[in-house]
Structure 1
C-alpha cells in the first residue's frame, strides 16, 4: 500500500475506505475490479513511491484540476507533480501523492471515499498520456485498469457500477467490474467534458450535450429510454443533475438564466435569473434534498436559489429543513410583467456570496445545514452559511488556501 507523504506515520490510507469498509449508507457495494489490462510496474516508476520533501521556499504548485467527490464531502486537486485529496468538514488534507519527475494530473475523479481513483495526465509534463484513463486502487497501490482512446480525455465520471469517459465528441460507458464497454454516445463538440450521472441507489441516469446547440441528452438506462431536451437557444455551458437523477439544471453560454427540468418528461419546472449581463457559468449544484440550487460564475458571485419542488415527489426529502424558505425575490416591477420584458418577472437568488471577479470557482452544498462550499482554481476554499428565511449576503465561516505549502493541516 502507498504511504501518505503528508503524515509522519507510516500507516497507509487512514482516510480512504477499502471495499470491505463500505457502510450500509452507501447506495451500492463497490464491485471487484479485475486488472484489465495488466499494469506494467516498470512503466511508471514514480507512482506509489514516497514523495520527496518540498523545500520550504518552494512556490505553491500550479493547480490543474479541482473537483468534488460524489457526496461533496471531499475534493480532489490535480497538480503539476501529482494529486491531493482533502476533506471538506472539517477541512484538512487527508492524502497526497507526489511524483519525482513530471507527474502532472489533469483529471482526478474520486469514488465517494473509497480507495478507487480515476486519473488522467495533464499539464506541461503529464504523468500519463492525456488519452488514457488510469484506474488506481490505493488499497493495492497499483493501477488495476487502463482505458485508451484516440483523442484526449476531457473528463471522467464514476459510479460504483459504471465508468463514464468523456471525449471531445463521444462518451463511453463501461461496466466497472470488468471494464466492458456498454454504450457509446455521440455529442456536439464538448471541450469542457460536460457530463453528469445520478448517484442515488436507483437506476443510472446520464446527461450530456446532444447533437444540436442548446440540446441536452438524457439517458434513462433502467427504462432504456433517451430523452432530448432543447434547454437553450445558445450552446450549453454548464449543467447539473440532482442526486436521484429526477431534476436537471442547465445554463447556456449567455449565463443569464438557469432552467430546471424534469428529466423523465423533459418539462420545464422553473427558471431563475443569475443576472442581466452575460456571464460564464462555472458550476451548478443541487442540495441533497433538491430544495436549493447554487450557481457560480465569472462575475465573482455565488448565488443560491430556492427551488419549487413538489414535496410528494419520490426521492425528495425535505426533512432537513426546519423552517420555510424565503420566497424568491422578484423585480419590484413584476406587477407589469405582461407589458415589460420577461426580465422584470424573473426569480432572483435568495442568497449571495461575493468573491474575486474573473477567477474560476466551483460550488457545492456542505454537509452542515444551509452551508455552501466554494473551491477556487487559485487554491481557495470557502465555507459559507446562508439564511433560508431572510436570505441576503451569506456569512463566511471559513477560508483556507489549500495550495500553500505552509498551510497547516
Structure 2
C-alpha cells in the first residue's frame, strides 16, 4: 500500500519481531508481518480513517495506533489483534498525530500532535466495583445515563467507555512537528519532547496522581545557547544533567511507581 509518509513500525524484541504498516490507503487497516518466519501474522481493522501513527511496545506484544482524525488511540495485542485499550484524546477537533510512544515497561502511552497538548494514558485495567444504589440526584442521573447507552448509536456509546488521559503536558508552542519518548531518569518517569522549534523539553510525570506534568528542563538542540551535551535547568546553569542519562538501554527491569 502506498504511504506518502512511509508509515511503519518495527518491534525491537527478538522474540516478538513484527513489522506493522498500513493495509489500506482509505481506511485504518494495520498489516502485521512476522519478520522471523517471513509471513503475514494478522490484519487489524484499527480505525475507520487512514492510519497516522503506529508503534510497538518494547516487548512486541502491544501495538498502539491512531488515525488521521487523531481523536481516538487504540492498543491491540500482538499477534492476536485483540483490542486491549481505547483512549479518547479529544472530541472538539481533529488533529494531526505526530508521535506515539510507550514507556519501557509498557505502563504508559504518550500521544503528541500539532496542538500544544501531549496526552499520557495509563494502560491498566480498571477493576469492576460492586454495584451500589445511588444516593444523590447526580448518582441517579449517571445510572440512567449509562443505562441509556444501550439504545444509543455505537459511536455515542463508545465515548462513554473510552479512557481519558492520566496526565497531560502543555507545550510552549503549537503547530510544530515533534516526537516524544517516555523514560525513567533518576528513578522518576519523564516525558521528553523534541520539537521542530529546535528544543528538547523534559517533563516530570507523577506516577501516582498524574495530572498536568511540570517542565523541568529544556535544551537547545543545536547547542547555540547551552553546551551541546548538557540539559540545563531553566534559570540555572550550575546543575547540568548530561545527555547520557537518556540512554534507556538496559532499563527493562525498571518500573515507575504504581498506585
TM-score (norm 2): 0.72
Q: 1:385 aligns with which of 204, 213, 219?
A: 204
Partner of 1:228: 43
Q: Is the 8 A contact 1:380 1:402 kept in 2?
A: yes
Aligned-pair distance for 1:195?
1.1
Partner of 1:243: 58
Aligned runs of 1:314-325 on 2, under 5 Å?
none
Relative to its length, the structure with more helix (as a share) is 2
Q: Is the 8 A contact 1:300 1:357 kept in 2?
A: yes
Aligned-pair distance for 1:226?
2.5
Aligned-pair distance for 1:287?
0.8
Partner of 1:216: 30
- CA–CA distance in structure 2, aligned partners of residues 309 and 400 of structure 1: 36
Kindly tell me the number of residue pairs found equivalent between the two proteins. Answer: 201
Aligned runs of 1:58-97 on 2, under 5 Å?
none
Partner of 1:200: 13
Aligned runs of 1:37-76 on 2, under 5 Å?
none
Q: 1:291 aligns with which of 100, 107, 131?
A: 107
Partner of 2:86: 271
RMSD over equivalenced CA pairs, Å: 2.1
State the Cα deviation string for residues 71-108 of structure 1 (Å, max 9, x = none). Answer: xxxxxxxxxxxxxxxxxxxxxxxxxxxxxxxxxxxxxx
| Higher RCO structure (Cα 8 Å, ≥6 apart) | 2
Helix, strand or coil: the match of 1:375? Answer: strand
Helix, strand or coil: the match of 1:359? Answer: coil
- CA–CA distance in structure 1, aligned partners of residues 168 and 94 of structure 2: 18
Partner of 2:244: none
Aligned-pair distance for 1:309?
6.4
Helix, strand or coil: the match of 1:343? Answer: helix
> Structure 2 unaligned runs (5+)?
127-138, 229-259
Helix, strand or coil: the match of 1:344? Answer: helix
- Indicate the larger mover: 195-204 or 244-253: 195-204
Helix, strand or coil: the match of 2:100? Answer: strand
Helix, strand or coil: the match of 1:370? Answer: strand
State the Cα deviation string for residues 226-278 of structure 1 (Å, max 9, x = none). Answer: 31111111100111111121111000011100000112111111100111121
CA pair 251-386 structure 1, distance change in 2 beyond 3 A: same
Helix, strand or coil: the match of 2:47? Answer: coil
- CA–CA distance in structure 2, aligned partners of residues 275 and 201 of structure 1: 35
Q: Is the 8 A contact 1:247 1:261 kept in 2?
A: yes
**4+ runs of 1 displaced by more than 6 Å?**
none
- CA–CA distance in structure 1, aligned partners of residues 60 and 105 of structure 2: 12
Aligned runs of 1:314-393 on 2, under 5 Å?
335=143, 336-337=145-146, 338-339=148-149, 341=156, 342-355=158-171, 356-368=173-185, 369-393=188-212
Q: Is the 8 A contact 2:41 2:79 kept in 1?
A: no
